[in-house]
Amino acid sequence: MATDTQIAIVGGGAAGLAAAISAVQRGCDVTVIEQADRLGKRILATGNGRCNLSNAALDTEKSVFAYNNPKFVQGIIASLGFEDIREFFADLGLMVHVDAEGRVYPRSNSANSVLDVLLNAISSLRVRERCNFAVKSIDVGLEDGFPAFRLSTLEGESLTADAVILATGPDVMPLIDAELARVWREPVLGPLHTQTAPLKGLNGVRVRCAASLRLEDEVFASEYGELLFRDYGLSGIVVFELSRYLQPEQEISLDYFPEYSDNELRELLDHRLQKLNGYSINRFFDGMLHRRVAQAILRNLSYSSYAPAQSMQLERLAHILKDHRFKVTGGPTQAQAQVMRGGLATTGFSPQTLESIRLPKFFAVGEALDIDGRTGGYNLHWAWASGIVAGRAACEAIAQQDSCLLFHPRTVSRVTKVTDI
């Protein structure tokens, strides 16, 4: 073998480990290169330490719309749906369970189990590891039409490979060559920052409600589920989902009673007022709404808690309970976000194999590509599925090259800079 390894995988996260296992299972010699001191650290932080690794809905046709680029992901998700990923992990020894909303977790409820089975496979299948190796540049030497890659660190260490799978997650840095176009990165799947005055007293309160992103009366996205008030803004799964659609100037609107229409809620309040005749305003809300949310709404309407409930204008009250607005001042920071949107433009890669269209035997997987999905296991599913596909395809590309090389032996000499990552 003229190169150090047949396939170099840059990044030992979810996508890189899946790629390594699938490639070595097809008989290739694989090296995983990781800048950290060990592989798969980020997996341990996922799903609040439980690792929501996939979603059962991924076996339905509509599931591709959970991603920002359904057209690009559809072939890969169709060939590697939830059952295939369950089988991939079952073969490694992982037992899983599926919750009522289709979210898939390890049966142990511990992300450690997911990483353990991956690392056991990496070690028993003899995948080579190079930790503490931060790749800063990748060069390609074209000789007799066959590319070979040289991956180098800033300190001058290097490694050569016949094929490269880029699995660097959100860390892809500017590419200095135009070979691979990229899309600007922005943090998504995180809390939204809002004006803070209306949040007074609400930090830590959880409610189940419908939440929508609006510009005046136009609704851009809406979700239903648990929301968490923070002192800087709004958090919780519903808000994480909305962060994927955030545009400048938008407000977030909370509907605390989505199961009632405007008129039904107005009637309910009227009926309640008759039944609770003589109550003060603060008592009127007891048993109906979280006390601190009620206080925030009363402040907004400039009602005194101790005034008689009969003094409230029910029309105004019903309106704010169905449309409580918060002005959004910003999206999640990178540290708060689960995913970075953007990365390498999918237009430069085959949706079947994830191989670069302009650069043979160069693949990109997981979050390195401009693919992001909903919460609920969709992002890790993409990481596993894209890794497995690229691992297999890289082996096939090498097998084809080797059969050609029997007739055209080559050496690696001339190099052209491709990327600085």
Ligand X SMILES: Cc1cc2nc3c(=O)[nH]c(=O)nc-3n(C[C@H](O)[C@H](O)[C@H](O)COP(=O)(O)OP(=O)(O)OC[C@H]3O[C@@H](n4cnc5c(N)ncnc54)[C@H](O)[C@@H]3O)c2cc1C
Closest contact distance (angstroms) between CB of 394 and ligand X is: 16
Closest contact distance (angstroms) between CB of 407 and ligand X is: 35
Give Cβ neighbours of residue 343 (< 8 Å, ≥ 6 apart).
170, 172, 182, 183, 185, 364, 367, 368, 369, 370, 371
**CA–CA dist 108, 81 (Å, integer):** 22
Which of these segments, 120-128, 168-176, 199-207, 219-227, binds ligand X (CB under 6 A)? 168-176
**CA–CA dist 288, 275 (Å, integer):** 14
Instruction: Mark 114-153 with x for binding to ligand X (rule: CB under 6 A) and - for no binding.
Output: --------------------xx------------------
Tokens of 293: 């949310």
Out of 168, 212, 295, 346, the only residue in the binding site for ligand X (CB under 6 A) is 168
- Reported residue count of the chain is 421
Which of these segments, 6-14, 20-28, 59-67, 406-414, binds ligand X (CB under 6 A)? 6-14
**Spatial contact of 318 and 265, defined as CB atoms under 8 Å apart:** yes
Nearer to ligand X, 244 or 266 (CB): 244
Instruction: Mark 10-49 with x for binding to ligand X (rule: CB under 6 A) and - for no binding.
Output: xxxxxxx----------------xxxx-----x--xxx--
**CA–CA dist 337, 331 (Å, integer):** 9
236 vs 172, 247, 327, CA distance in Å?
28, 19, 17
Out of 72, 367, 388, 412, the only residue in the binding site for ligand X (CB under 6 A) is 367
State which residue has the least CB distance to ligand X. 13
Give Cβ neighbours of residue 52 (< 8 Å, ≥ 6 apart).
46, 103, 104, 105, 375, 376, 377, 380
Nearest to 295 by CA among 266, 260, 284: 284
Out of 187, 191, 233, 377, the only residue in the binding site for ligand X (CB under 6 A) is 377
Q: How many residues bind ligand X (CB under 6 A)?
A: 35
Q: Measure the CA angle with vertex 131, ends 126 and 133; round to 5°.
A: 125
Nearer to ligand X, 266 or 341 (CB): 341
Tokens of 85: 């990923």
Closest contact distance (angstroms) between CB of 103 and ligand X is: 8
52 binds ligand X (CB under 6 A): yes
Nearer to ligand X, 39 or 227 (CB): 39
**Spatial contact of 191 and 239, defined as CB atoms under 8 Å apart:** yes
364 binds ligand X (CB under 6 A): no
366 binds ligand X (CB under 6 A): yes
First to last CA, the chain: 26
Tokens of 276: 């609770």
Out of 30, 210, 254, 339, the only residue in the binding site for ligand X (CB under 6 A) is 339
Nearer to ligand X, 121 or 210 (CB): 121
Closest contact distance (angstroms) between CB of 14 and ligand X is: 4
Which three-class secondary structure state does DSSP give residue 360? coil
Out of 171, 177, 186, 267, the only residue in the binding site for ligand X (CB under 6 A) is 171
269 binds ligand X (CB under 6 A): no
Nearer to ligand X, 232 or 279 (CB): 232
Nearer to ligand X, 33 or 199 (CB): 33
Neighbours of 342 (CB within 10 A): 21
Closest contact distance (angstroms) between CB of 145 and ligand X is: 28
Which of these segments, 174-182, 307-315, 372-380, 406-414, binds ligand X (CB under 6 A)? 372-380
343 binds ligand X (CB under 6 A): no
Closest contact distance (angstroms) between CB of 187 and ligand X is: 10
| DSSP symbols for 5-58 | EEEEEE--SHHHHHHHHHHHHTT--EEEE-SSSSTTHHHHHGGGGT---EEGGG
Binding site for ligand X (CB under 6 A): 10-16, 33-36, 42, 45-47, 51-52, 134-135, 167-171, 338-339, 366-368, 377-380, 383, 421
